[in-house]
A = this chain, B = another copy of it.
Amino acid sequence: MVSIKDVARDAGVSPQTVSNCINNPSIVKPATRKVVQASIARLNYTPNASARRLRTQRSNTIGIGIAPVSYSQVYDRFLHALVTEADANGIRVLLYKTDSQQDEIRQFAALAARGDVDSFVLTDTTHDDPRLAWLHEHHQPFVLFGRPWGCGAMDDPSTPWVDVDGHYGIAEMTRHLILHGRKHIGFIGWPGVSGTGTDRYQGWRDTMLDARMVSGDELGQLYEEASNDIIAGQTACIALLDRRPDLDAIICVSDTLAVGAATALPNDTDIVITGFDDTVSSRSMGLSSIAQPLTESARHIIRITQEQLDAPAAAFTGTNDGGGAASTADSHSTGAPEIVAGAYTGSGSDGGGRGASSTSPVATPATAAATVPATVIARDDRHILLKPTIVIR
């Protein structure tokens, strides 16, 4: 392995100068820098990560857990997005197992103690999540993907999170259906009260009531619950149509349920089924869905992580610094999203056409969703709520 000394000898300078060329090029005389960089290239030198970590006491690595099974079908795409954004910022991603929340806490302790990671990314936050308590107690940096529902930490500066606005997504989808002439729009949701599920449900409910498409009394008839699998989706769809044969659209809280519902439809029907997450399955079935801006989410997660680590002692002020999301990233952030401070349950037509032709976030079937940068609705720069993209097929 070629080390910094080899480069130094080759370039006729001291190891320190080589180090400076890499970590602080501006303080090296251009001529010297040139020579050193030539040596680096010729010898194909790459700094040893362990040595650097030992010296700087920074691993430049974040940890993220993987559960025994993932029901969402979106986790692998999220991981890819996260790794991609991390990679672009010189950060590595370490995977650890999470068989339970307690197990994850054990992993926190081990990984943090060994200095394997600087920070963690958490998903699937639950009510009174013990992981948050542990992390806070041990002053361990982290970022949530998903809001800390019911933890009372929604606005806590020391509980940064990035999430996708399910309420908005479902509301937008509902509006789209209404605008295209659908009169009786049902909803299949998850049972129980989950933050995410309830949020999405309310997106449908609020829009339906706002548009006077349904009375409060009638709402229950258009609603069905189903655990997150295909069969449950089928069952719920059948129950819904049984109760309300006049339905002409059913919005599902997930793609899995949408796939189930779609397969339970009579052959000759015109009923529209929509899902959430724009998975391969729903896409192959031609269902409209709601795509989470995973790349954008990952970008913010990495940005916040970087900010935390670069300014560990600086207390968070709680005020938006004016620059917003775009201010930190050094040349990486292409198409930096605008930050629209304020409530996130806004009406669909937010000001500011931010792209080419389409003023609505509804993507045309042909143009892929990925090209449109996600719009941000945020409280401040450590609590980021992203708008999903409605994908109509």
Question: Per-residue 0/1 for A105-119: is the Cβ within 8 Å of any B Cβ (1 yes, 0 no)?
Answer: 000001001111000
What is the number of residues of chain A that contact chain B, defined by CB distance less than 8 Å? 52
Interface of chain A residues 112 through 139 with chain B (CB within 8 A): 113-116
- Contact across chains for A113 and B76 when beta carbons are under 8 A apart: no
Q: How far is the CA of A54 from the CA of B55 in the complex (A)?
A: 10
- Contact across chains for B48 and A115 when beta carbons are under 8 A apart: yes
Q: How far is the CA of A285 from the CA of B286 in the complex (A)?
A: 21
A93 at the interface (CB under 8 A from B): yes
- Contact across chains for B80 and A67 when beta carbons are under 8 A apart: yes
A271 at the interface (CB under 8 A from B): no
A83 in contact with B59 given A115-B49, A231-B285 (CB within 8 Å):
no
Residues of B contacting A285 in the complex (Cβ-Cβ under 8 angstroms): 230-231
- Contact across chains for A113 and B46 when beta carbons are under 8 A apart: yes
Contact of A70 among B67, B76, B92, B232 (CB under 8 A): B76
Residues of B contacting A351 in the complex (Cβ-Cβ under 8 angstroms): none
Most buried by B among A44, A259, A263: A263
- Contact across chains for A97 and B84 when beta carbons are under 8 A apart: yes
- Contact across chains for A95 and B114 when beta carbons are under 8 A apart: no
Q: How far is the CA of A79 from the CA of B69 in the complex (A)?
A: 10
- Contact across chains for A48 and B114 when beta carbons are under 8 A apart: yes
Residues of B contacting A95 in the complex (Cβ-Cβ under 8 angstroms): 64, 79, 83, 93-95
- Contact across chains for B83 and A87 when beta carbons are under 8 A apart: no
Contact of A256 among B79, B231, B281, B286 (CB under 8 A): B281
Nearest B-chain residue to A44, judged by Cβ? B113
Interface of chain A residues 248 through 285 with chain B (CB within 8 A): 256, 259, 263, 280-281, 284-285
In order of increasing CB-CB distance, the 6 nearest A-B pairs are A229-B284, A46-B113, A263-B263, A50-B53, A49-B114, A50-B54
Cross-chain pairs A/B with CB under 8 angstroms, 21 sampled:
A44-B113, A48-B54, A49-B115, A49-B116, A50-B53, A50-B54, A51-B54, A61-B94, A66-B83, A67-B76, A68-B77, A69-B76, A69-B80, A83-B96, A93-B94, A229-B281, A230-B281, A231-B286, A259-B259, A263-B263, A281-B281
A residues near B (Cβ < 8 Å) are: 1, 44, 46-51, 53-54, 59, 61, 64, 66-71, 73, 75-77, 79-80, 83-84, 87, 92-97, 99, 110, 113-116, 229-232, 256, 259, 263, 280-281, 284-286
Contacts A66-B83, A83-B95, A256-B281 known; 18 new A-B pairs at CB < 8 A: A1-B113, A46-B113, A48-B54, A50-B50, A50-B54, A50-B59, A50-B115, A51-B54, A66-B80, A67-B76, A75-B76, A83-B97, A84-B99, A87-B96, A87-B97, A94-B95, A229-B280, A231-B285
